[in-house]
Amino acid sequence: MLIPSDAWAALLNAGILVRPESPTEVTLSASDDSTQTVTAAVERSVLPLSPSHVRHASPTRGRGRLLLVVPSATTAALDAAEAAGISVLADDESRRRPVVGRIVLPSNTVTIGGVQESAGADGAPVRRGRRPWGTLSVVRALLAGGAASQATLATHAQVTQGRVSQALAPLVEANLVRRTPVDGRSRWQMANWDALTDWWLDNYPGPGGLRTYWYGLADVTQQARDLVALMDRYDVPIAVSGDVAADVLAPWRRPGRAMIYADPAGHHAPENLAAAGLTPSGPEEATLELVVPADRGVWPPSGDEPGAGLPLADGLQVLWDLRRSPGSDTDQAVAALRTVLRARAAASPEER
């Protein structure tokens, strides 16, 4: 995620409200002054922030229009960033040091925590390597069952046919995928659903994008329904995952937290979720996670996948999110959902 959970909590504690606008853009606003609002592009670096890095951070977007998320920052770096109108969050995610930073708003700057001193490093900030969502989406398609052409897989994953062949070659060598002739034409097919699912779960890096945390008093399934209804009024695409979706597909236990994916880009999304009975919270006490994902694979391939009146995320995404859910019976719930997804794959058309 571009903004780690600790950084989200630090923003909330500092009186900064965060509203995702896209997988890489957020609106930041002061909770006590609605005029202090700015929309910022979020960029993440794996290097500590130093003054020399600030010069490479594209500070020409305008005051507050860029939010850098870094593992650490010197006092001089924070001063340089503030002077350039750049917001900074320093969070090494190890929890050895508190989150610090400065949020640049239209007419003032909000300071978060103390200062992390770091020796920094020379050179421009670098971004994390591109995540292999295209490759993983190819495998998603195969796990849906049946034999698929290379062109079908390429269209589904939004990659080239050459990339499909390149991505699946090592899986063929590992006996996870095989090429099958169908009416004289070559098709790709999974060799073993469980083994290929395990490979996907082990290699999936998560949906990326932006994650926010919310608390509500209603049952978490009702919270999901209320949020779906709210987003529907704004025509914001939404998909339910995790505990709530798993309870629809393979009832096993009472859901403990709602997981919702949304795509507000290009829509006038609500400024807050109060109409759905939700208030911003820290990660630990949250009853609902709202994610604006970078990975398009979280959405079911054929549009909304209704379940008990709820639009559900892709089945594999539900499984991945369910595995992250706390609880002593998570393993049993995961096993129950795998049984349902395996049966779905077996019942799918033989060729696509």
DSSP H or E stretch at residue 296? none
Whether 351 is covered by a domain: the verdict is no
What pLDDT shows up at residue 118?
43
Give the model's pLDDT for residue 124.
37
Tokens read off for 35: 């005029």
C-beta of residue 188 within 8 angstroms of C-beta of residue 179: yes
Q: Based on the domain organization, do 338 and 217 belong to the same domain?
A: yes
55 vs 276, residue with greater confidence: 276
**Burial bucket for residue 340 (CB in 10 Å: 0-12, 13-18, 19+):** middle
* Residue 291 domain-assigned (yes or no): yes
CA distance 147 to 181: 9
Tell me, what's the pLDDT at 307?
61
Predicted TM-score (pTM) of the model is 0.80
* Residue range 93-151, pLDDT digits in tens: 766 778 999 999 999 999 998 654 443 333 333 334 456 778 899 999 999 988 899 99
Residue 349 has a pLDDT of 77
* C-beta separation of 78 from 103 below 8 A: no
Q: In this structure, are residues 134 and 159 in contact, taking their beta carbons and an 8 Å threshold?
A: yes
**Residue 315 belongs to some domain of the structure:** yes
Strand partners, 224: none
**Residue 22 shares a structural domain with residue 91:** yes
Q: What is the pLDDT of residue 352?
A: 62
- Quick check: is 260 in a domain? yes
Q: Which of 204, 233, 254 is the last residue of a domain?
A: 204
Q: Are residues 169 and 192 in the same domain?
A: yes
In whole angstroms, what is the distance from residue 211 CA to residue 336 CA? 27
Considering the domain boundaries, does residue 151 fall inside one?
A: yes
* Same-domain status, 176 and 64: no
What's the distance, Cα to Cα, between the start and end of the chain in Å?
Answer: 34
Given a cut of 80, whether residue 186 has pLDDT beyond it is yes
How many residues are given for the chain?
352
pLDDT at 64: 84
Residue 267's pLDDT is what? 81
Domain annotation covers residue 317: yes
Whether the predicted pLDDT of 303 surpasses 60: no
pLDDT digits (tens, 9 = 90+) for 23-33: 999 999 998 88
Residues 173 and 275 in one domain: no
pLDDT in tens, 35-66: 899 999 999 988 898 888 787 766 566 788 99
pLDDT computed for residue 122 by the predictor: 34
**What is residue 25's three-state secondary structure?**
strand
Q: How confident is the model at residue 289 (pLDDT cuts 50, 70, 90)?
A: very high
Q: What share of the chain is helix, strand, coil (3-state, %, to 5)?
A: 35, 25, 40
Q: Are 100 and 52 contained in the same domain?
A: yes
Q: Give me the pLDDT at residue 286, please.
A: 93
pLDDT tens per residue across span 211-270: 999 999 999 999 999 999 999 999 999 999 999 999 999 999 999 999 999 999 888 888
Q: What backbone torsions phi and psi does residue 168 show, to the nearest 5 degrees? A: -90, -15
Range of the domain at 296: 210-343
C-alpha to C-alpha distance for 126 and 128, rounded to whole angstroms: 7
Of the chain, the percentage scoring pLDDT greater than 90 comes to 53
Q: What is the pLDDT of residue 59?
A: 58
* Residue (of 346, 269, 337, 344) closest to 302 by Cα position: 344
Q: What is the dihedral of CA 234, 238, 243, 249, to 10 degrees?
A: 120
Average pLDDT of span 267-281: 88
Q: What is the CATH number of the domain that holds 158?
A: 1.10.10.10
234 and 309 both lie in a single domain = yes
Burial of 23 (0-12, 13-18, 19+ CB in 10 A): buried
Q: Per the structure, how many domains does the chain have? A: 3
Q: Is residue 118 part of a domain?
A: no
Indicate the Cα dihedral angle 331, 336, 339, 342, nearest 10°: -70
- For the cut 60, the answer to whether the pLDDT of residue 158 exceeds it is yes
User: What's residue 194's pLDDT?
Assistant: 96
14: number of Cβ within 10 Å: 17
Please tell me the least confidently modeled range out of 4-8, 84-88, 116-120, 135-139. Answer: 116-120
**Residue whose pair of structure tokens reads 């799918």 in the numeric block:** 348
Cα–Cα dist 280/272, whole Å? 9
**Tokens found for residue 63:** 């005051």
Q: What is the mean pLDDT of the chain?
A: 87
